[in-house]
Amino acid sequence: MDCQDLAHQISAVRQLCAERGVYFIAYPKTIDAANYRAYWGARWPEMADYKSRCAFPWIYAEVSARGM
């Protein structure tokens, strides 16, 4: 994976969203080639925005039309 190119593309999308007033969110939050290498290489403690726990269970829930 070309993490430098990925960081460049995600930065371009973020900029386009800002220009158009579209809410943008990405994970990991720090858009940087080194950060992406650590993320995709499973070296999470090396990440710029490393967290020791996952917050998603407390901030996100999805329920289908069938209640599942």
DSSP letters for 51-62: -SS--HHHH---
Average pLDDT value for residue range 13-40: 94
Residues ≥6 apart with Cβ < 8 Å to 2: none
Question: pTM of whole model > 0.85?
Answer: no
Neighbours of 10 (CB within 10 A): 15
In whole angstroms, give the CA distance from residue 55 to residue 5.
28
Report CA 53 to chain centroid distance, whole Å: 15
pLDDT exceeds 80 at position 24: yes
